[in-house]
Amino acid sequence: MAAENEYDEFLVELRESVCSRCVERQPGGPPCAPLGRVCGIEQHFPQLVELCQSTESVQMEPYAQKLHDQICADCDNLDGPTCPCPLRYLLQLAVEAVERVQRRRNAQTVG
């Protein structure tokens, strides 16, 4: 099924391969924010995709550093009672999910 916009396919992949493994998933979620769990996966979703697209490394450290500098630094919840949110410890799964979508798109473009 074609994505309705540029980011829909990423959101579907994140929910399937990251949220499905999240121990903080709310009953009936995602989305989890309306159910009481603020989470950077949802709150910073476009920035998360852009972070992954602008980083290329086999190590997680560059991604973690950018998360700290570019997303967490501007997050309204930084160091609040809901921080750290699942984005911090699910970052590797999120990066893998975004890169999977990107590889699929690249293969479609080449093919």
- By CB under 6 A, name the one of 16, 69, 78, 96 that touches ligand SF4: 78
Q: How far is the CB of 56 from ligand SF4 (least distance, A)?
A: 22
Say whether residue 91 binds ligand SF4 (CB under 6 A).
no
Say whether residue 34 binds ligand SF4 (CB under 6 A).
no
Distance of alpha carbon 105 from alpha carbon 88, whole angstroms = 26
Pick 1 or 73: Cβ nearer ligand SF4:
73
Tokens standing for 14?
Answer: 């994140």
Tokens standing for 25?
Answer: 């998933």
Say whether residue 17 binds ligand SF4 (CB under 6 A).
no
Exposure b/e, 61-92, CB count within 10 A at least 16 = b: eebeebbeeebbeebeeeeeeeeebbbeebbe
Q: How far is the CB of 94 from ligand SF4 (least distance, A)?
A: 8
Say whether residue 95 binds ligand SF4 (CB under 6 A).
no
Cβ atoms within 10 Å of 35's Cβ, excluding its own: 12
Binding site for ligand SF4 (CB under 6 A): 18-19, 22, 24-25, 29-30, 32, 37, 39-42, 44, 71-72, 75, 77-78, 82-88, 90
